[in-house]
Amino acid sequence: MESQRSSSSNRETLTGSPHLNAPLNTLHVDRCTPIHRLHALLYAAAILGLVYHRLTSILASFTFAEGCMLLADLVLAFMWGCSRAFKWRPVHRREFPDRLPECDAWPKLDVFVCTADPKKEPPVGVVSTALSAMAFEYPADKLSVYVSDDGGADVTLFAFMEGARFARHWLPFCRENGVQVRSPEVFFASSSSGCSAGGGDVDKLKVRASSILTNAPLILTIDCDMYSNDPTSPQRALCYFLDPIASSKLAYVQFPQRFQGLNKSDIYGGEMKHLFKMNPYGMDGFGGPNYLGSNTFLARRALFDSSLESESGRNLLEPEKVLEMATEAAACNYETGTKWGKTIGFCYGSLTEDLHTGFWLHCEGWTSVFCDPPQAAFLGDAPKTLHDALSQCKRWNVGQYEVGFTRHSPLTFGVRKTSLGLGLTYSHLAFWGLWCIPINNTYALLPQLALVNSRPLFPKSSDPWFYLYTYLFVAAYTQDMLDFIYHKGTLRFWWSDQRMWLMRSLTSFTFGSIQFACKQLNISTQSFNVTNKVMDDEQIKRYDEGTFDFGVDSPFFVILSTAALLNLCAILVGIFRYNINMVAEMLLTGYGVANSWPVYEAIFLRSDNGKMPDGVKLRAFFLTGILFAGGFLVFNA
């Protein structure tokens, strides 16, 4: 049992002196920043022109469709404005671990690993994650690993009992042979699949229990399927925590979430390059990235308020007493009537407690750092089925709304307490689900129905205003594509990413918005589900071949099929009639058809188990007919 420490001693430990006064880290602003700012100014002027054109059209002749298009454009403008903050001052950092002081001056480190369901999170993978953390290049007497099983499964306990025996041989083997990837499962080329899923409730308990058992100044939180890919990653984090200038208000060092086993096209957008890499670079220029819930080194003192710090100094206790106190701290009712979940520990009250916690730390004046070394510090598994990918984003969307629609909203409270730039970036994350308004409720429906009914919603190609709309569409997509490639992406990955953005907007964000609204009205909805990390051989084969998996009877796929069929019927009608005054509607519909090709394959061409279920097809055809009938009434009333 390690000796206990007070939070005051934690503060002293985190301010070591760098070796020979050489900087432990450097920072530079992205060289493309002036280009991003110029583009933002031009694009903002174009948006103002679009809004002016919409308003004048509505004032001249108001229609329901025109009103919906104006609302959609205003939401798009809001989301674009918030997202520009990510591009206003992105920064890049570099660490110098070789300049760190001797390891005797390094602070202790507590590692938190959580799991919930052994059927969806195989215990072998959880054990491998824990062993990869135990094998860090870090003094053994300063490293503690906590593993909590929210499901309390016997099989998980047995796996860790066996893992503890194996660790006696595995850890020395890694150090003696210079093994870099220290997850046994990966080292022995064992394959697994799945995606990361947070275990925030368990993390909250471990913060309290570890403060009694070890009370290390640093805490690392990692998902059970995010194994360590670089045993020196704690040393990179120390390059910031031991920096005498940066460390005084540094709450956490965030490493990106990277994923292994993505197929050649990343068909489900599992890389999440915007969320896990591009956005954090932009936020780092305003005070630091948001807390991603995994791959994060936190300063324990940032999770405790001053009153707890003053109470945490204590004398050495007997091991039995310490264990008794830790058990009491891990109890569910320990926090009743206390500040836990508010100003102490991780923030409660949201499915995305990571976003909530990071936002609150920034509002209290803490900073954070984005550390993105060339070699991935941690690697995990992305969703390998479309349903899992969409369900994961729906869950995130509900939690993000729980942060955005409060009296401490990033758009108001966040802008006042942090800065305009950081407040806007958090607003973009908190209101991520609003994409469903312009995509699902407007641009995926109205232009197509207008094309079928020969009722223009956009200027005709001979009208100068047509080129303004064209510029807004082409410029946005071109910049997104170039940014994706600039951050070491590929055209193939970018196409999959933008297609998944459309699919999420149609499904995840729509159902997430509905679930959040029902929750606010105290209407019972589906509870939190752990993302499945177990797949059958056929699913694995389809994913590796780049074939979409639609083999689940899901409302998600009803919406996707309906939108795809609507676009297909509309483009056929448009080609047959060909109206020169409706070029914009034709182009938008053609764009929808191009992105819907995997859906058409699943509906009309495939016969494997991943095809579109018959029940989904029937409902989609029925809804498509309803939409055409509704469109006729709207445009011909």
Long-range interactions of 417-422: CB distance < 8 A, separation 24+: 417/362, 417/363, 417/364, 418/286, 418/287, 418/362, 418/363, 419/286, 419/287, 420/85, 421/85, 421/88, 421/89, 421/285, 421/286, 422/85, 422/283, 422/286, 422/287, 422/362
CA angle 520–528–220, rounded 5-degree value: 115
DSSP three-state, residue 219: strand
Other CB atoms closer than 10 Å to residue 452's CB: what's the count?
23
Which residue blocks in 217-278 are alpha helix, DSSP H? 233-241, 273
DSSP code for 330: T
Q: DSSP of 87-143, one letter per residue?
A: HHS-EEEEE-GGGS--GGGSPPEEEEEEE--TTTS-HHHHHHHHHHHHTSSS-GGGE
Bridging pattern class, strands 109-115 and 91-95: unpaired
Other CB atoms closer than 10 Å to residue 597's CB: what's the count?
12
For residue 501, with 0-12 CB atoms within 10 Å meaning exposed, 13-18 middle and 19 or more buried, which class applies? Answer: middle
**Distance, CA of 519 to CA of 68 (rounded, Å):** 26
**Distance, CA of 198 to CA of 206 (rounded, Å):** 14
Contact partners, residue 311, CB within 8 Å, separation at least 6 = none
**Distance, CA of 237 to CA of 346 (rounded, Å):** 20
Give the catalytic positions in this structure: 150, 354
**Secondary structure element (H or E) that encloses residue 179, with its range:** none
- Is residue 425 within 8 Å of 274, Cβ to Cβ? no
Contact partners, residue 474, CB within 8 Å, separation at least 6 = none
**Secondary structure element (H or E) that encloses residue 62, with its range:** none
Other CB atoms closer than 10 Å to residue 576's CB: what's the count?
7
For residue 558, give the nearest of 623, 607, 492, 628 by alpha carbon: 623
Fill in the amino acid letter for 612: M
Give the up-direction half-sphere exposure of residue 48: CA atoms within 13 A in the CB hemisphere.
6
Provide the CA 156 distance to its chain's centre, in angstroms: 27
Other CB atoms closer than 10 Å to residue 28's CB: what's the count?
9
Bridging pattern class, strands 91-95 and 25-29: antiparallel
- Is residue 260 within 8 Å of 380, Cβ to Cβ? yes
The count of residues in the chain is 637
**Distance, CA of 631 to CA of 624 (rounded, Å):** 10
Backbone angles phi, psi at 112, to 5 degrees: -110, 125
**Distance, CA of 35 to CA of 510 (rounded, Å):** 34
